[in-house]
Amino acid sequence: MSQHFYVHPDNPQVRLISQAVQILQNGGVIVYPTDSGYALGCQMGNKDALERICRIRRIEPNHDFTLVCRDLSEISTYAKVDNTAFRLVKNNTPGPYTFIFKATKEVPRRLMNEKKKTIGIRVPANNIALALLEALGEPLLSTTLILPGSEMAEFDPEEIADKLGKQLDLVVNGGYLGEQPTTVVDFSDDEPVLRRRGAGDPTPFE
């Protein structure tokens, strides 16, 4: 069974955040809270952990993985972003959005969309997620925890532990969350394209 940490949603305990980061650095797969349900996460350079996430979600090769970032200062390292796109993203982060961009050479090829060479970028409005990212010191490779056959994000950490306990190293329990996944906006072509309506208001991108 995985470990289970009860983390305060407003004031995450430093000791538990440090232990969670250690698990990530040792190749672990974790479930953690965001502002749009729970997500699966691992270190972006860990191939074995990535493969475990793919098995849990039954992900296709053309899936858009996401790098969850502390803030927008990391975005240009991993994504090719023009000024217009950056302004739109800046005005709507942190928040429940995933933005898809052409990836830079800093992104390992196995993380990119196989056909389009893109990567998702996201800055969540969740204190636990931000504390994890700050302590980790780099983006977290992530995907919303939507189980096979479902369209909604998992929101109950106790149920997640029951369903997936043996496949995870850690469940970071931040309480019940909303079921809607992120709103996905694709900036990989000239104009932004709304790929999925979710928790974030799509109006700025329509």
Which CATH number do you get for residue 14?
A: 3.90.870.10
Q: What is the pLDDT of residue 43?
A: 97
Range of the domain at 148: 1-203
Q: How confident is the model at residue 114 (pLDDT cuts 50, 70, 90)?
A: confident
**pLDDT band at residue 61 under the 50/70/90 scheme:** low
Please state the pTM of the whole predicted model.
0.94
Q: Which residue from 75, 83, 29, 77 is spatially nearest to 56, judged by alpha carbons?
A: 29
Average pLDDT in the chain: 93
- Per-residue pLDDT band for 196 (boundaries 50, 70, 90) equals very high
Q: What is the pLDDT of residues 125-165, one digit of tens each?
A: 999 999 999 999 999 999 999 998 888 889 999 999 999 98
26-42 per-position pLDDT tens digit? 999 999 999 999 999 99
**How many domains are contained in the chain?**
1
